[in-house]
Amino acid sequence: MPYAWYCPIRPWHFVAWLALWGSLVGADSSYAGDEDLRRTAIVRAYQEAKDSIVNLHGRKTVRADQPGTAGENFKQVNGMGTGIVIDPRGYILTNYHVVEGVANIQATFADKRNATARLISHDPHTDLAVIKVDTASSLPVIKLGTSSDLLTGEPVIAVGNAYGYEHTVTRGIISALHRPVQVSDNQQYTDLIQTDASINPGNSGGPLMNILGEVIGINVAVRVGAQGIGFAIPIDEALDIAARLVSADRLGHPAHGLAGKCEYESQSDGSLIPKYAVSAVRKDTLAEKAGVKAGDYITHIGGRAVARPLDVELAFLGRKTGDNVAVEVLRDGKNQQLAMAIEATSKTSSKQNLQDRSWDALGIRVEPISRDEFSALNSHYRGGLRVTSVRKDGPAHDQGIRQGDVLVGMHVWQTVSLDNFSYILDRDDLDTMQPLLFYILREGDTLFGHIRLAKKDGG
Protein backbone atom coordinates (compact mmCIF):
# COMPACT_ATOMS: atom_id res chain seq x y z
CA MET A 1 0.00 0.00 0.00
CA PRO A 2 1.64 3.25 -1.09
CA TYR A 3 -0.05 5.72 1.26
CA ALA A 4 2.12 6.87 4.13
CA TRP A 5 -0.53 6.35 6.76
CA TYR A 6 -1.13 2.72 5.90
CA CYS A 7 0.44 0.45 8.47
CA PRO A 8 0.19 -3.10 9.73
CA ILE A 9 -2.40 -4.03 12.30
CA ARG A 10 -1.22 -6.35 15.05
CA PRO A 11 -2.65 -9.79 14.29
CA TRP A 12 -5.59 -10.88 16.40
CA HIS A 13 -4.67 -14.22 17.98
CA PHE A 14 -7.47 -16.69 18.34
CA VAL A 15 -7.79 -19.71 20.63
CA ALA A 16 -10.54 -22.23 19.94
CA TRP A 17 -11.79 -23.94 23.10
CA LEU A 18 -13.50 -27.32 22.94
CA ALA A 19 -14.75 -29.04 26.13
CA LEU A 20 -14.17 -32.75 25.58
CA TRP A 21 -15.81 -34.21 28.66
CA GLY A 22 -15.66 -37.62 27.06
CA SER A 23 -11.84 -37.55 27.13
CA LEU A 24 -11.93 -37.12 30.87
CA VAL A 25 -14.18 -40.12 31.42
CA GLY A 26 -12.69 -42.40 28.77
CA ALA A 27 -15.25 -41.74 26.02
CA ASP A 28 -14.80 -43.21 22.55
CA SER A 29 -11.67 -41.57 21.09
CA SER A 30 -13.31 -41.37 17.65
CA TYR A 31 -15.31 -38.39 18.95
CA ALA A 32 -12.18 -36.26 19.07
CA GLY A 33 -11.57 -36.97 15.40
CA ASP A 34 -14.99 -35.83 14.26
CA GLU A 35 -14.22 -33.58 11.26
CA ASP A 36 -17.56 -31.79 11.58
CA LEU A 37 -16.42 -30.15 14.80
CA ARG A 38 -13.42 -28.63 13.03
CA ARG A 39 -15.21 -27.55 9.88
CA THR A 40 -16.60 -24.29 11.27
CA ALA A 41 -18.43 -21.61 9.29
CA ILE A 42 -15.14 -19.75 8.86
CA VAL A 43 -13.41 -22.86 7.49
CA ARG A 44 -16.29 -23.53 5.07
CA ALA A 45 -16.41 -19.90 3.91
CA TYR A 46 -12.67 -19.82 3.19
CA GLN A 47 -12.58 -23.20 1.44
CA GLU A 48 -15.40 -22.17 -0.86
CA ALA A 49 -13.82 -18.80 -1.69
CA LYS A 50 -10.07 -19.54 -1.79
CA ASP A 51 -9.86 -20.57 -5.44
CA SER A 52 -11.44 -17.24 -6.43
CA ILE A 53 -8.96 -15.13 -4.45
CA VAL A 54 -5.73 -14.14 -6.23
CA ASN A 55 -2.47 -12.93 -4.71
CA LEU A 56 -0.88 -10.13 -6.75
CA HIS A 57 2.73 -9.00 -6.76
CA GLY A 58 5.27 -7.23 -8.95
CA ARG A 59 7.91 -4.52 -9.07
CA LYS A 60 6.86 -0.89 -9.30
CA THR A 61 8.61 2.46 -9.50
CA VAL A 62 7.83 4.98 -6.74
CA ARG A 63 9.07 8.44 -5.85
CA ALA A 64 11.86 8.52 -3.27
CA ASP A 65 12.58 12.13 -2.42
CA GLN A 66 15.94 12.46 -0.70
CA PRO A 67 16.44 15.22 1.88
CA GLY A 68 18.80 17.93 0.69
CA THR A 69 18.56 17.05 -3.01
CA ALA A 70 16.72 18.87 -5.75
CA GLY A 71 14.13 17.21 -7.93
CA GLU A 72 12.67 13.77 -7.65
CA ASN A 73 14.39 10.43 -7.22
CA PHE A 74 12.84 7.07 -7.97
CA LYS A 75 13.32 3.57 -6.68
CA GLN A 76 12.02 0.09 -7.41
CA VAL A 77 9.93 -1.60 -4.70
CA ASN A 78 8.04 -4.85 -4.41
CA GLY A 79 4.31 -4.28 -4.69
CA MET A 80 1.77 -6.74 -3.38
CA GLY A 81 -1.97 -7.02 -3.02
CA THR A 82 -4.99 -9.19 -3.60
CA GLY A 83 -7.81 -9.53 -6.12
CA ILE A 84 -11.07 -11.43 -6.57
CA VAL A 85 -12.21 -13.28 -9.70
CA ILE A 86 -15.42 -11.71 -11.05
CA ASP A 87 -15.63 -13.56 -14.36
CA PRO A 88 -14.58 -17.11 -15.35
CA ARG A 89 -12.64 -15.75 -18.34
CA GLY A 90 -10.04 -14.33 -15.96
CA TYR A 91 -11.29 -10.85 -15.08
CA ILE A 92 -10.19 -9.81 -11.59
CA LEU A 93 -11.21 -6.83 -9.43
CA THR A 94 -8.59 -5.18 -7.21
CA ASN A 95 -7.42 -1.79 -5.91
CA TYR A 96 -5.76 0.44 -8.46
CA HIS A 97 -2.87 1.29 -6.14
CA VAL A 98 -1.98 -2.42 -6.09
CA VAL A 99 -1.26 -2.50 -9.83
CA GLU A 100 -0.41 1.16 -10.50
CA GLY A 101 3.02 1.38 -12.09
CA VAL A 102 3.51 -2.40 -12.16
CA ALA A 103 4.73 -3.39 -15.61
CA ASN A 104 4.57 -7.14 -14.99
CA ILE A 105 1.63 -8.06 -12.74
CA GLN A 106 2.01 -11.57 -11.37
CA ALA A 107 -1.03 -13.46 -10.06
CA THR A 108 -0.77 -16.51 -7.80
CA PHE A 109 -3.77 -18.75 -7.14
CA ALA A 110 -4.50 -20.90 -4.11
CA ASP A 111 -3.17 -24.00 -5.90
CA LYS A 112 0.18 -22.15 -6.46
CA ARG A 113 -0.43 -21.64 -10.18
CA ASN A 114 1.10 -18.42 -11.50
CA ALA A 115 -0.12 -16.23 -14.34
CA THR A 116 0.69 -12.82 -15.78
CA ALA A 117 -2.12 -10.27 -15.64
CA ARG A 118 -2.65 -7.12 -17.66
CA LEU A 119 -4.48 -3.97 -16.70
CA ILE A 120 -7.84 -3.65 -18.48
CA SER A 121 -9.38 -0.55 -16.93
CA HIS A 122 -8.93 1.59 -13.83
CA ASP A 123 -10.26 4.60 -11.96
CA PRO A 124 -7.76 6.45 -9.73
CA HIS A 125 -10.54 8.42 -8.03
CA THR A 126 -12.20 5.32 -6.54
CA ASP A 127 -8.93 3.33 -6.40
CA LEU A 128 -10.40 0.33 -8.21
CA ALA A 129 -9.11 -1.53 -11.26
CA VAL A 130 -9.96 -4.55 -13.39
CA ILE A 131 -7.12 -6.78 -14.57
CA LYS A 132 -7.19 -9.99 -16.61
CA VAL A 133 -5.24 -13.22 -16.75
CA ASP A 134 -5.41 -15.45 -19.80
CA THR A 135 -6.58 -18.91 -18.83
CA ALA A 136 -7.18 -22.12 -20.76
CA SER A 137 -9.96 -23.18 -18.40
CA SER A 138 -12.73 -21.29 -16.61
CA LEU A 139 -11.87 -19.79 -13.24
CA PRO A 140 -14.23 -20.10 -10.27
CA VAL A 141 -16.02 -16.83 -9.52
CA ILE A 142 -16.28 -15.60 -5.96
CA LYS A 143 -19.69 -15.51 -4.30
CA LEU A 144 -20.98 -11.94 -4.15
CA GLY A 145 -23.13 -10.64 -1.33
CA THR A 146 -24.61 -7.22 -0.65
CA SER A 147 -23.56 -4.35 1.58
CA SER A 148 -27.12 -3.03 1.82
CA ASP A 149 -28.09 -5.03 4.90
CA LEU A 150 -24.87 -5.15 6.95
CA LEU A 151 -25.11 -5.24 10.72
CA THR A 152 -22.69 -3.56 13.09
CA GLY A 153 -21.15 -6.36 15.14
CA GLU A 154 -21.71 -9.18 12.64
CA PRO A 155 -18.71 -11.50 12.09
CA VAL A 156 -16.54 -11.05 8.99
CA ILE A 157 -13.51 -12.69 7.40
CA ALA A 158 -10.65 -11.03 5.52
CA VAL A 159 -8.41 -12.93 3.09
CA GLY A 160 -5.33 -11.52 1.44
CA ASN A 161 -1.65 -11.48 0.63
CA ALA A 162 -0.69 -9.96 4.00
CA TYR A 163 2.98 -8.90 3.94
CA GLY A 164 3.43 -11.44 1.14
CA TYR A 165 2.04 -14.33 3.20
CA GLU A 166 -0.35 -15.67 0.59
CA HIS A 167 -3.98 -16.46 1.40
CA THR A 168 -3.81 -15.24 4.98
CA VAL A 169 -7.18 -15.55 6.74
CA THR A 170 -8.23 -13.27 9.61
CA ARG A 171 -11.53 -12.75 11.32
CA GLY A 172 -13.33 -10.03 13.26
CA ILE A 173 -16.55 -8.08 13.27
CA ILE A 174 -18.00 -5.06 11.51
CA SER A 175 -17.02 -2.26 13.86
CA ALA A 176 -18.96 0.54 12.14
CA LEU A 177 -20.63 1.47 8.85
CA HIS A 178 -20.57 4.55 6.60
CA ARG A 179 -17.19 5.82 7.78
CA PRO A 180 -15.70 8.84 5.93
CA VAL A 181 -11.94 8.32 5.60
CA GLN A 182 -9.17 10.51 4.16
CA VAL A 183 -6.43 8.10 3.08
CA SER A 184 -4.14 10.62 1.37
CA ASP A 185 -4.04 14.23 0.17
CA ASN A 186 -5.79 13.19 -3.04
CA GLN A 187 -7.87 10.21 -1.89
CA GLN A 188 -10.99 10.40 0.23
CA TYR A 189 -13.79 7.91 0.79
CA THR A 190 -17.19 8.88 2.16
CA ASP A 191 -18.73 5.49 2.93
CA LEU A 192 -16.43 2.72 4.14
CA ILE A 193 -16.98 -0.37 6.28
CA GLN A 194 -14.85 -0.35 9.43
CA THR A 195 -13.67 -3.73 10.74
CA ASP A 196 -11.29 -5.10 13.36
CA ALA A 197 -10.38 -8.12 11.20
CA SER A 198 -6.61 -7.85 10.74
CA ILE A 199 -5.83 -6.04 7.49
CA ASN A 200 -2.17 -5.56 6.55
CA PRO A 201 -0.17 -4.31 3.56
CA GLY A 202 -0.96 -6.88 0.87
CA ASN A 203 -4.63 -7.21 1.85
CA SER A 204 -5.58 -4.34 -0.47
CA GLY A 205 -8.07 -5.44 -3.12
CA GLY A 206 -8.95 -8.61 -1.24
CA PRO A 207 -12.36 -9.66 0.02
CA LEU A 208 -14.07 -8.88 3.27
CA MET A 209 -16.61 -11.70 3.57
CA ASN A 210 -19.56 -12.43 5.81
CA ILE A 211 -19.86 -15.71 7.66
CA LEU A 212 -21.63 -17.24 4.61
CA GLY A 213 -18.56 -16.66 2.44
CA GLU A 214 -20.17 -13.82 0.47
CA VAL A 215 -18.04 -10.79 -0.39
CA ILE A 216 -19.46 -7.70 1.31
CA GLY A 217 -16.47 -5.37 0.85
CA ILE A 218 -13.10 -4.80 -0.82
CA ASN A 219 -10.31 -4.22 1.72
CA VAL A 220 -8.61 -0.89 1.09
CA ALA A 221 -6.93 0.70 4.13
CA VAL A 222 -5.90 0.56 7.78
CA ARG A 223 -5.54 3.40 10.28
CA VAL A 224 -1.99 4.39 11.17
CA GLY A 225 -1.03 3.87 14.81
CA ALA A 226 -4.21 1.98 15.64
CA GLN A 227 -4.95 -1.64 16.39
CA GLY A 228 -7.97 -3.33 14.90
CA ILE A 229 -9.12 -0.46 12.66
CA GLY A 230 -9.34 -1.41 8.99
CA PHE A 231 -11.60 -0.28 6.16
CA ALA A 232 -13.30 -1.81 3.13
CA ILE A 233 -15.24 -0.40 0.16
CA PRO A 234 -18.86 -1.66 0.33
CA ILE A 235 -19.33 -4.34 -2.33
CA ASP A 236 -22.44 -2.74 -3.85
CA GLU A 237 -20.45 0.41 -4.61
CA ALA A 238 -17.41 -1.57 -5.78
CA LEU A 239 -19.48 -3.64 -8.21
CA ASP A 240 -21.18 -0.56 -9.69
CA ILE A 241 -17.75 0.94 -10.32
CA ALA A 242 -16.51 -2.37 -11.78
CA ALA A 243 -19.48 -2.34 -14.16
CA ARG A 244 -18.45 1.07 -15.46
CA LEU A 245 -14.82 -0.02 -15.74
CA VAL A 246 -15.71 -2.87 -18.13
CA SER A 247 -18.65 -1.18 -19.85
CA ALA A 248 -18.95 -1.45 -23.59
CA ASP A 249 -18.80 2.32 -23.91
CA ARG A 250 -15.53 2.52 -21.95
CA LEU A 251 -13.75 -0.39 -23.64
CA GLY A 252 -14.94 0.34 -27.16
CA HIS A 253 -17.26 -2.65 -27.65
CA PRO A 254 -20.72 -2.38 -29.26
CA ALA A 255 -22.92 -0.34 -26.91
CA HIS A 256 -26.07 -2.09 -25.70
CA GLY A 257 -27.94 1.03 -24.61
CA LEU A 258 -29.16 -0.30 -21.26
CA ALA A 259 -29.26 1.66 -18.02
CA GLY A 260 -30.29 -0.21 -14.93
CA LYS A 261 -29.71 -0.96 -11.27
CA CYS A 262 -29.65 -3.82 -8.84
CA GLU A 263 -32.76 -4.29 -6.71
CA TYR A 264 -32.99 -6.76 -3.85
CA GLU A 265 -35.99 -8.98 -3.24
CA SER A 266 -36.46 -10.11 0.36
CA GLN A 267 -37.03 -13.83 0.93
CA SER A 268 -38.98 -15.55 3.72
CA ASP A 269 -35.72 -16.49 5.46
CA GLY A 270 -34.57 -12.87 5.49
CA SER A 271 -32.04 -13.25 2.68
CA LEU A 272 -31.91 -10.81 -0.24
CA ILE A 273 -31.96 -11.90 -3.89
CA PRO A 274 -30.45 -9.42 -6.40
CA LYS A 275 -32.40 -8.55 -9.58
CA TYR A 276 -31.38 -6.35 -12.49
CA ALA A 277 -34.06 -3.74 -13.19
CA VAL A 278 -33.96 -1.74 -16.45
CA SER A 279 -34.43 1.93 -15.62
CA ALA A 280 -33.94 3.35 -19.13
CA VAL A 281 -33.18 2.29 -22.70
CA ARG A 282 -31.30 4.77 -24.88
CA LYS A 283 -32.76 5.57 -28.27
CA ASP A 284 -31.45 3.95 -31.44
CA THR A 285 -29.45 1.34 -29.52
CA LEU A 286 -29.25 -2.44 -29.66
CA ALA A 287 -31.47 -2.81 -26.59
CA GLU A 288 -34.24 -0.63 -27.99
CA LYS A 289 -34.18 -2.49 -31.31
CA ALA A 290 -34.45 -5.80 -29.42
CA GLY A 291 -37.59 -4.59 -27.62
CA VAL A 292 -36.20 -4.16 -24.10
CA LYS A 293 -38.26 -1.65 -22.10
CA ALA A 294 -37.82 0.37 -18.94
CA GLY A 295 -39.34 -1.61 -16.07
CA ASP A 296 -38.19 -4.98 -17.41
CA TYR A 297 -36.15 -7.31 -15.21
CA ILE A 298 -33.39 -8.96 -17.24
CA THR A 299 -32.70 -12.48 -15.97
CA HIS A 300 -30.31 -13.84 -18.62
CA ILE A 301 -28.17 -12.51 -21.47
CA GLY A 302 -26.62 -15.03 -23.84
CA GLY A 303 -27.37 -17.82 -21.36
CA ARG A 304 -25.59 -15.98 -18.56
CA ALA A 305 -27.54 -15.26 -15.37
CA VAL A 306 -27.96 -11.53 -14.76
CA ALA A 307 -28.53 -9.93 -11.36
CA ARG A 308 -26.39 -6.76 -11.37
CA PRO A 309 -25.14 -4.10 -13.81
CA LEU A 310 -21.74 -5.86 -13.74
CA ASP A 311 -23.38 -9.04 -15.07
CA VAL A 312 -24.81 -7.09 -18.00
CA GLU A 313 -21.46 -5.58 -18.95
CA LEU A 314 -19.62 -8.90 -18.63
CA ALA A 315 -22.30 -10.61 -20.75
CA PHE A 316 -21.62 -8.19 -23.61
CA LEU A 317 -17.86 -8.03 -23.10
CA GLY A 318 -16.13 -9.68 -26.06
CA ARG A 319 -19.22 -9.75 -28.28
CA LYS A 320 -18.59 -9.04 -31.94
CA THR A 321 -20.54 -7.56 -34.80
CA GLY A 322 -22.82 -10.26 -36.21
CA ASP A 323 -23.46 -12.02 -32.89
CA ASN A 324 -27.08 -12.70 -32.03
CA VAL A 325 -27.56 -12.60 -28.26
CA ALA A 326 -30.58 -14.10 -26.51
CA VAL A 327 -32.05 -11.85 -23.82
CA GLU A 328 -34.56 -13.15 -21.27
CA VAL A 329 -36.67 -10.59 -19.45
CA LEU A 330 -39.40 -10.67 -16.83
CA ARG A 331 -42.16 -8.24 -17.84
CA ASP A 332 -45.41 -7.89 -15.89
CA GLY A 333 -44.68 -11.18 -14.17
CA LYS A 334 -44.18 -13.10 -17.42
CA ASN A 335 -40.97 -14.36 -19.03
CA GLN A 336 -40.23 -13.09 -22.51
CA GLN A 337 -37.53 -14.15 -24.96
CA LEU A 338 -35.86 -11.38 -26.96
CA ALA A 339 -32.92 -11.33 -29.33
CA MET A 340 -30.29 -8.60 -29.57
CA ALA A 341 -28.38 -8.48 -32.83
CA ILE A 342 -24.90 -7.00 -32.39
CA GLU A 343 -24.38 -4.66 -35.28
CA ALA A 344 -22.14 -1.76 -36.10
CA THR A 345 -23.88 1.12 -34.36
CA SER A 346 -24.57 4.18 -36.43
CA LYS A 347 -23.55 7.57 -35.11
CA THR A 348 -26.47 9.20 -33.33
CA SER A 349 -25.02 12.57 -34.16
CA SER A 350 -22.36 13.97 -36.41
CA LYS A 351 -19.02 15.21 -35.18
CA GLN A 352 -20.20 18.76 -35.67
CA ASN A 353 -23.36 18.08 -33.65
CA LEU A 354 -21.20 16.73 -30.82
CA GLN A 355 -19.08 19.87 -30.91
CA ASP A 356 -22.22 21.98 -30.73
CA ARG A 357 -23.51 20.06 -27.72
CA SER A 358 -20.13 20.34 -26.00
CA TRP A 359 -20.02 24.08 -26.73
CA ASP A 360 -23.52 24.58 -25.28
CA ALA A 361 -23.12 22.33 -22.22
CA LEU A 362 -19.47 22.85 -21.28
CA GLY A 363 -18.28 25.79 -23.31
CA ILE A 364 -15.47 23.87 -25.06
CA ARG A 365 -14.68 22.25 -28.36
CA VAL A 366 -12.32 19.26 -28.50
CA GLU A 367 -10.46 17.17 -31.03
CA PRO A 368 -8.81 13.71 -30.90
CA ILE A 369 -5.09 13.29 -30.30
CA SER A 370 -3.00 10.73 -32.14
CA ARG A 371 -1.54 7.88 -30.13
CA ASP A 372 2.03 9.02 -30.75
CA GLU A 373 1.26 12.58 -29.70
CA PHE A 374 -0.46 11.41 -26.52
CA SER A 375 2.38 9.01 -25.67
CA ALA A 376 4.73 11.97 -25.58
CA LEU A 377 2.73 13.36 -22.64
CA ASN A 378 3.95 10.45 -20.46
CA SER A 379 0.54 9.90 -18.87
CA HIS A 380 -0.90 6.70 -17.39
CA TYR A 381 -4.21 7.47 -19.14
CA ARG A 382 -5.03 5.66 -22.39
CA GLY A 383 -5.75 8.79 -24.40
CA GLY A 384 -7.48 12.16 -24.38
CA LEU A 385 -9.11 15.00 -26.27
CA ARG A 386 -7.38 18.32 -26.85
CA VAL A 387 -9.38 21.45 -26.00
CA THR A 388 -9.34 23.61 -29.14
CA SER A 389 -11.45 26.52 -27.90
CA VAL A 390 -13.05 27.75 -24.68
CA ARG A 391 -16.15 29.96 -24.42
CA LYS A 392 -15.48 32.90 -22.10
CA ASP A 393 -18.87 32.72 -20.36
CA GLY A 394 -19.00 28.92 -20.21
CA PRO A 395 -18.66 26.43 -17.31
CA ALA A 396 -15.22 25.23 -18.49
CA HIS A 397 -13.81 28.77 -18.51
CA ASP A 398 -15.13 29.33 -15.00
CA GLN A 399 -13.25 26.22 -13.83
CA GLY A 400 -9.96 27.35 -15.37
CA ILE A 401 -9.87 25.01 -18.38
CA ARG A 402 -7.70 26.49 -21.13
CA GLN A 403 -7.19 26.03 -24.83
CA GLY A 404 -4.51 23.36 -25.30
CA ASP A 405 -5.47 21.38 -22.20
CA VAL A 406 -6.07 17.66 -22.75
CA LEU A 407 -9.31 16.30 -21.30
CA VAL A 408 -8.60 12.74 -20.12
CA GLY A 409 -11.61 11.95 -17.94
CA MET A 410 -15.02 12.96 -16.64
CA HIS A 411 -16.72 11.38 -13.62
CA VAL A 412 -15.65 7.69 -13.80
CA TRP A 413 -15.05 7.60 -17.56
CA GLN A 414 -11.92 8.24 -19.56
CA THR A 415 -12.33 10.47 -22.61
CA VAL A 416 -10.10 8.59 -25.01
CA SER A 417 -12.25 9.23 -28.08
CA LEU A 418 -15.08 11.42 -29.32
CA ASP A 419 -17.39 8.42 -28.86
CA ASN A 420 -16.50 8.34 -25.15
CA PHE A 421 -17.22 12.07 -24.91
CA SER A 422 -20.52 11.71 -26.76
CA TYR A 423 -21.57 8.86 -24.46
CA ILE A 424 -21.06 11.07 -21.40
CA LEU A 425 -22.99 14.02 -22.81
CA ASP A 426 -25.83 11.74 -23.97
CA ARG A 427 -26.45 10.06 -20.60
CA ASP A 428 -29.99 10.49 -19.33
CA ASP A 429 -28.81 10.51 -15.71
CA LEU A 430 -26.08 13.12 -16.16
CA ASP A 431 -27.93 15.70 -14.06
CA THR A 432 -27.85 13.40 -11.03
CA MET A 433 -24.02 13.17 -11.21
CA GLN A 434 -23.32 16.89 -11.14
CA PRO A 435 -21.01 18.54 -10.44
CA LEU A 436 -18.90 16.30 -12.66
CA LEU A 437 -15.33 15.54 -11.68
CA PHE A 438 -12.99 16.20 -14.62
CA TYR A 439 -9.30 15.49 -15.24
CA ILE A 440 -7.03 17.43 -17.62
CA LEU A 441 -3.35 17.26 -18.55
CA ARG A 442 -1.41 20.52 -18.68
CA GLU A 443 2.35 20.80 -19.10
CA GLY A 444 3.02 17.41 -17.60
CA ASP A 445 0.66 17.81 -14.64
CA THR A 446 -2.70 16.14 -14.04
CA LEU A 447 -5.26 18.68 -12.78
CA PHE A 448 -8.81 18.07 -11.68
CA GLY A 449 -11.91 20.01 -10.71
CA HIS A 450 -15.68 19.92 -10.65
CA ILE A 451 -17.94 21.34 -13.33
CA ARG A 452 -21.67 21.87 -13.75
CA LEU A 453 -23.14 21.70 -17.23
CA ALA A 454 -24.93 24.80 -18.48
CA LYS A 455 -28.69 24.50 -18.19
CA LYS A 456 -30.64 23.90 -21.37
CA ASP A 457 -33.07 26.56 -22.52
CA GLY A 458 -36.11 26.37 -20.33
CA GLY A 459 -34.30 23.97 -17.93
Q: Over the Cα atoms of the chain, what is R_g?
A: 24
- Please tell me the distance from the alpha carbon of residue 325 to that of residue 439, in angstroms, as a whole number: 36
Active site residue 127: yes
Catalytic residue, chosen from 87, 123, 127, 249, is 127
Catalytic residue, chosen from 57, 87, 97, 167, is 97
Indicate the length of the chain as a whole number. 459
Catalytic residue, chosen from 147, 175, 198, 204, is 204
- Please tell me the distance from the alpha carbon of residue 31 to that of residue 23, in angstroms, as a whole number: 9
Burial 101-127 (b: 16+ CB within 10 A, else e): ebeebbbbbbeeeebebebbbbbbbbb
Active site residues per annotation = 97, 127, 204
